[in-house]
Amino acid sequence: MQGYSHAQTDLAIMYESGKGIDQNYKKAMKWYLLSANNIDPSSASVDAQGNIGTMYYFGRGVPQSYTKALGWYRKAAAQDSDMAQLNIGGLYENGYGVPQDYDTAFEWYKKAADQGNQEASNRIGRLVMNDKIDDTGITIFSTQETGLTLGDIEDMSQ
């Protein structure tokens, strides 16, 4: 059943969430895989790839594996999925399946933040506030796009 990525992903989401159908992670994974491996890649295929990563991250319907989660997140991130980029950053920040590396986490968070992912921006802020990365030259963009640097914010708080 190739060419039906949206329907396949929608069905997978229904099985994963249990909305309108009995929850079944194994069936969810089956439908995500069909969509993710579709010859005609679409946003649904990219979403499916990221969702497969999350299934492996939590061990839903498959043995839990951060390494496999990372592989699937990388496929989706290569197609500009901000959620996959955010999730890769989280793996590096926490050292799940990879060596803990705050600079690499920042790089992935920045890719997602540059696409407007507010959670990624929040995580960058947390890395800076916890002194995990050097904040020199980092610009924070809020939904209002103020363009304030961390130094500006620190100056305002004094």
Give the model's pLDDT for residue 38: 82
Give the model's pLDDT for residue 1: 46
Per the structure, how many domains does the chain have?
2
Clarify whether residues 66 and 88 are in a common domain. Answer: no
Give the model's pLDDT for residue 74: 98
Cβ neighbours, 10 Å, residue 16: 22
Clarify whether residues 1 and 61 are in a common domain. Answer: yes
Give the model's pLDDT for residue 49: 96
Clarify whether residues 2 and 72 are in a common domain. Answer: yes
Stretch 92-119: mean pLDDT, rounded?
97
**What is the rounded distance in angstroms from the CA atom of residue 79 to the CA atom of residue 101?**
23
Give the model's pLDDT for residue 140: 59
Regarding pTM above 0.85, the answer is no
Q: Is 60 exceeded by the pLDDT of residue 129?
A: yes
Clarify whether residues 24 and 91 are in a common domain. Answer: no
Q: In this structure, are residues 111 and 77 in contact, taking their beta carbons and an 8 Å threshold?
A: yes
Q: Which of 79, 97, 122 is the last residue of a domain?
A: 79
Q: In this structure, are residues 123 and 109 in contact, taking their beta carbons and an 8 Å threshold?
A: yes
Query: Which residue, among 149, 73, 134, 140, has the nearest Cα to 103 in the 3D structure?
Result: 134
Residue-range definition of the domain harbouring residue 24 = 1-79
CATH number of the domain where residue 1 is located: 1.25.40.10
153 or 45, greater pLDDT: 45
Q: Which of 27, 61, 79 is the last residue of a domain?
A: 79
pLDDT band at 139 (very low <50, low <70, confident <90, very high): low
Q: Is 60 exceeded by the pLDDT of residue 25?
A: yes
Clarify whether residues 103 and 64 are in a common domain. Answer: no
Stretch 122-138: mean pLDDT, rounded?
89
Clarify whether residues 47 and 106 are in a common domain. Answer: no
